[in-house]
Copies of this chain bind each other. A is one copy, B any other.
Amino acid sequence: MSESDLEEMFTLAVSVAKEAGQIIRDAFDKEKEVDTKLSAADLVTESDQAVEKIVNTRIMEKFPTHRFIGEETTSESGEKHELTDDPTWIIDPIDGTTNFVNRIQEVSFSLGIMVNKKTVIGVVYAPIKDEMFTARLGKGAYLNGMKLQASKITDLKQAVIITEGGSSRDAKEVEDKVKNIHALITHTRGIRAYGSAAVNLCHVAAGRGQGYVEYGIHIWDFIAGALIAKEAGAVVLDPTGCDLDPLRRRILCACSPEVAKGLSQILTHLDMGCD
């Protein structure tokens, strides 16, 4: 893949993020038709579907041979994913749908592009706050054009860690997540929860807190934010400390290797299966 191909893909990625953001912004204050998916807390709206459809169209017009993985398309098909070496656009039309429905401002459009199974471009746009986070592999991470740098903290006791209750209401899964929340409160300066995985990763990239851990999310939730965090100097791993497997539905992000190691040691590692 040539530099100019990547440049063209990046330009389209930012352009569709802006278009998606406009749709999200227009719908934000309106009443929404809400459907549920796997639990009463797992939501989808017409806007999720509308954004996914238009973004898919834009990508296919310009890059008809590229692959596409979208949250809503996938939820409907229920199929397992196989990552290939082909250029693959992975999108979450609205990351933080519960926030969107409940009018909480942390909602985002997330788009990651993988080539040869490596993320080369990440774009997360939070339209209500007009924050456009972008990263290209090896070229740094940016917020509205300003270079990002993760926090320099190395001591877990000084870290604030983002985590989430998530949308599953499976009793065992909730119990394990709560156990992790307990461990995080005990060993850190505190926890935060914003309700959007993509935004959470961008917060760590921007130095707003020192880490983020979540079990039960999907590749479309974190693939773009993970690159943005890494390009801002953060560490992104599987929570066990192994390399991140983008299909294993869990992620640990920390501003430094020391904080990552500390987190990995205090957490109970939930096996979430794979996408």
Contacts and interface: CB of A to CB of B under 8 A. Distances in A.
Interface of A: 40-41, 43, 98-99, 102-105, 151, 153, 157-160, 164-167, 169, 171, 174-175, 177-178, 181-182, 184-186, 188-195, 203, 207-210
Contacts of A153: 102
Nearest to A210: B102
Given A181-B178, A192-B195, A193-B191, A186 B160 contact: no
A186 B208 contact: no
23 contacts: A40-B189, A41-B189, A41-B190, A102-B151, A103-B151, A103-B207, A104-B160, A104-B203, A164-B190, A165-B181, A165-B185, A165-B191, A166-B185, A171-B186, A174-B182, A174-B186, A177-B185, A178-B182, A181-B181, A190-B195, A191-B193, A192-B194, A194-B194
Contact of A104 (B185, B186, B192): B192
B208 A105 contact: yes
B208 A98 contact: no
Nearest to A42: B189
Contacts of A160: 98-99, 102, 104, 195
Nearest to A203: B104
B178 A185 contact: yes
